[in-house]
Structure 1
Amino acid sequence: MIWQVSILILYTLSLSVIFIFSIGQAYLIYFYLKTSDEHNEEVITPSVLPIVTIQLPLFNELYVTERLINSVCNLNYPISKLEIQVLDDSNDDSLILTANIIKQKIAEGFNIKHITRDKNIGFKAGALQHGLSNAQGELIAIFDADFLPEADFLHQLIPHFQNPNIGMVQSRWGHINKNYSLLTKIQGFGLDGHFTIEQTGRNKANLFMNFNGTAGIWRKQCISDAGGWQHDTLTEDLDLSYRAQLKGWKFKYVEELTTPAELPIELNAFKSQQHRWTKGAIETSKKMIKEIWKADVGLKKKIFGSLHLLNSYVFLFVFLTSILSLPVLLIKNNSNIPVIYFQLLSVFMIGFIIVTVFYLIANFSKKDSFKAFAKLFPMFLSVSMALSFHNSIAVLEGLFNFKSDFIRTPKFNLSNIKQSFKDNVYINKKLPKSFYVELFLFVYFFLGIVAAFYYNDYGLLPFHLMLFLGFGILNYYALKHQLVKN
């Protein structure tokens, strides 16, 4: 009886934590809808254009470097006002390729510098800080290797800096290869929710928001005032964002400007990115939560800033809820626990409804059809829940100070499913150890489906079906990509 009660308490606690975070999402939905009809303030291009330094942090980007540099050099901005820093920590053949491309651009008249370091200290954050010390521009634009800024990017964002309190302006991410596969469609679907409801809601509600690491512009003074780029977390962008805003700087999110980028098309690359974002957020929360609550920023900003930084812990509670759901089903049908307890748990369905509304609104904001949403949302939710195991490991690593390197996400420069990444030199050619755990979990939740029919109890059946599907998709792509690589 004690172990049954313990499981039910832990299960209820996990559901309660997820519910609390979903309420936070509901608030962002409310404010997004409240402000969606408001006209953005009119911004006028300054009469004197500022000098802009564009930083391009690179590490072994053999397939996308030329595309990136060409895109940046095609920006509609006076060459005399533009400095391009290629911050190259590469240690492979891409270093020579990049050097040759830069020589060509210098011959064309661009002020472009190839900046390398003897030691890759601090990874991306270290490279950005190293370049900042010699940057000529008062504004610093940053693009990761997989991004392709539109020609008018600078003209769209620079006018916002006429407000002297603005320290950073962020554009929305687009996806050049969203239709490559189901995996990329799921990623794009999730990111669209973040860049529609979350970023807009936080910004409009005057809450803390974050620079997304790329496709944005910083005021150089803001970076310096906040203490510069620091590499004690894996999410240097989130860390600097909070330090800057706690110094009083304001951020601006411009949803109307989309900067196209490449989504990871290989499962290990996608999971590596998820691991870095999740673990880094935990590290940043440990570093910044106390600072938020000591600051004079108002209770609302403290609460929602905390929810923002602690959001990655949800993965741990989603995984706990998932694992415990099968024992809960067995307890319900093989114990004397009052049935009303299990019926009361249905209140947590409100959280699922909030998540559904969240992504439904994001879908409609992009003028996608309900039919497209109905097809993709269950897949997205299933994979997101299945990723809770992988991301829970990242949460625990961040929580218990397990240090790891900044693992870059391999780029492919592919947009057509007929194009193979078999010869990509950066991808991991081995099945990760997590594959075997996820295969076990695939079977585990199949047993949950069987149990539903055995007990004639279908309350958790949709939940187990989605987990079964989610782990099935992850296992499918793990095996499929393994066959492609070999």
Structure 2
Amino acid sequence: MLVFLVAAYGLSLWKENSFSKVLIVLCCAANIVYLFWRLLTTLPGNGLVNQIAGVILLATEWAGLLQMLVFYTLVWKPAKEHHVPLEELDRIPTVDLMIATYNEPVSVLKRTLAGCASIDYPRDRVKIYVCDDGDRAEVAELAQMFGACYVTRDQHVHAKAGNLNHALTQSQGEFIAIFDADMVPLKAFLTRTIGLFRNPDVAFVQTPQAFYNDDPYQYNTFSSDAIPNEQDFFMRTLQAGKARFNAVMFVGSNAIFRRSVLDAIGGFATGVITEDMATGMIIQAKGYKGLFVGDVLAMGLAPETWGDMLKQRDRWCRGNIQCTKKWNPLTLPGLSLMQRILYRMG
């Protein structure tokens, strides 16, 4: 047994990707054999209650197999990423950088504005918009300090989606980059993403949400240098797998959109908490593409307490349920089978 483990470890170091695929195949095969054994030999035969309970348990195990197969399909290999330098474009398009804010501290906003102002892009082709749903004088002064446009509105409806949709009516850029108030874009954000829109079918490009502070797991286990942020697995590994099936999920920040596509779908989705997921899904249902760039191009603040993390996850869960009720991915016209499965399973 020890020899086998040593050999397996050596093989994983020698050719890690191929070895992991062998393990995936073996794991799937073992689970399928087990479930057929369960189906053929272990179902209770005495008593109606026992039979019902046995069937429910077996159905749950088969559902687990489906979820496992979907997961392994995503991690089997990431989508191939492309890089199109700005120099290869016929012309440099105009871009509006939109920062959505409500009650975040000015000190946090200042870092984000400084990052936007430092982006490597022709100055006459980019504008910064501070979309303030808090109507704060100090935020207006901060926007003026950085030469940004300060945008507010009279009717504060539909939360963040309504805020951004109002800002769309106040701007003219061909592309719209979205940042949360605490997400600081790096200099290469536009030079790494804009070129990908050379393909007219590309509607949005999503980059990972990365963080410069420790999350509660890293902080409380003193493991910031030993373990990654707990969101990295979804934001980088699973998103790269989803990109193979044009099912990249818009996660609310660090993304850039083609304005004409947003106009075609009526702007960012409203009526749900997670307007980001709904917007990306609707765009893909219309036949447009969403691409994923694995490079970290913006960094922000992760929830620092368990309470904040629970509030965030509660919001995501309730928002996804709302999306399923309003735009059920299983019945929404235009989605492929794999897109339906991935959006339904999250």
Normalised by the size of structure 2, how large is the TM-score? 0.77
Equivalent position amino acid for 1:191 in 2: Q
CA drift of 1:217 comes to: 0.4
1:50 aligns with one of 93, 101, 124: 93
- The 8 Å contact of residues 245 and 339 in structure 2, kept in 1 or not, is answered as no
Return the alpha-carbon distance in structure 2 between the equivalents of residues 78 and 122 of structure 1: 33
Return the alpha-carbon distance in structure 2 between the equivalents of residues 271 and 149 of structure 1: 26
- The 8 Å contact of residues 109 and 181 in structure 2, kept in 1 or not, is answered as yes
Equivalent position amino acid for 1:190 in 2: E
Partner of 2:118: 74
Return the alpha-carbon distance in structure 2 between the equivalents of residues 276 and 163 of structure 1: 34
Question: What are the superposed Cα offsets for residues 32-60 of structure 1, whole Å, 9 maximum, x if unpaired?
Answer: 3xx6xx6x444131253211111111010
* Distance change in 2, residues 1:44/1:121 (3 Å): same
CA drift of 1:156 comes to: 1.0
* Distance change in 2, residues 1:129/1:84 (3 Å): same
CA drift of 1:293 comes to: 5.5
- The 8 Å contact of residues 284 and 309 in structure 1, kept in 2 or not, is answered as no
Equivalent position amino acid for 1:102 in 2: A
Equivalent position amino acid for 2:94 in 1: I
Return the alpha-carbon distance in structure 1 between the equivalents of residues 186 and 54 of structure 2: 53
Aligned length: 293
Return the alpha-carbon distance in structure 2 between the equivalents of residues 214 and 247 of structure 1: 21
Return the alpha-carbon distance in structure 1 between the equivalents of residues 54 and 283 of structure 2: 43
- The 8 Å contact of residues 285 and 309 in structure 1, kept in 2 or not, is answered as no
Identity of matched residues, %: 24
Return the alpha-carbon distance in structure 2 between the equivalents of residues 187 and 269 of structure 1: 20
Counterpart check, 1:200 vs 2:246: no
CA drift of 1:77 comes to: 1.9
Aligned alpha-carbon RMSD (Å): 2.6
SS at match of 2:167: helix
Counterpart check, 1:225 vs 2:264: yes
- The 8 Å contact of residues 282 and 309 in structure 1, kept in 2 or not, is answered as no
- The 8 Å contact of residues 171 and 253 in structure 1, kept in 2 or not, is answered as yes
1:236 aligns with one of 267, 272, 275: 275
Equivalent position amino acid for 2:288 in 1: W
Structure 2: which 5+ residue stretches go unaligned?
A: 1-46
- The 8 Å contact of residues 292 and 305 in structure 1, kept in 2 or not, is answered as no
- The 8 Å contact of residues 204 and 289 in structure 2, kept in 1 or not, is answered as yes
Equivalent position amino acid for 1:218 in 2: F
2:327 aligns with one of 263, 266, 288: 288
SS at match of 1:86: strand
Partner of 2:143: 102
Return the alpha-carbon distance in structure 2 between the equivalents of residues 49 and 99 of structure 1: 29
- The 8 Å contact of residues 188 and 297 in structure 2, kept in 1 or not, is answered as no
Partner of 1:472: none
SS at match of 2:294: strand
Counterpart check, 1:60 vs 2:103: yes
SS at match of 2:324: helix
- The 8 Å contact of residues 76 and 151 in structure 1, kept in 2 or not, is answered as yes
Equivalent position amino acid for 2:345 in 1: N
* Distance change in 2, residues 1:187/1:66 (3 Å): farther
Return the alpha-carbon distance in structure 1 between the equivalents of residues 176 and 325 of structure 2: 28
CA drift of 1:281 comes to: 1.5
CA drift of 1:132 comes to: 0.7
Return the alpha-carbon distance in structure 2 between the equivalents of residues 177 and 277 of structure 1: 21
More helix by share: 1
Counterpart check, 1:167 vs 2:167: no
Structure-to-structure mapping, 1:259-270, within 5 angstroms:
259-270=298-309
Return the alpha-carbon distance in structure 1 between the equivalents of residues 322 and 64 of structure 2: 20
Structure 1: which 5+ residue stretches go unaligned?
A: 313-486
* Distance change in 2, residues 1:143/1:294 (3 Å): closer
SS at match of 2:208: strand
Return the alpha-carbon distance in structure 1 between the equivalents of residues 93 and 276 of structure 2: 23
Normalised by the size of structure 1, how large is the TM-score? 0.56
Return the alpha-carbon distance in structure 2 between the equivalents of residues 190 and 289 of structure 1: 28
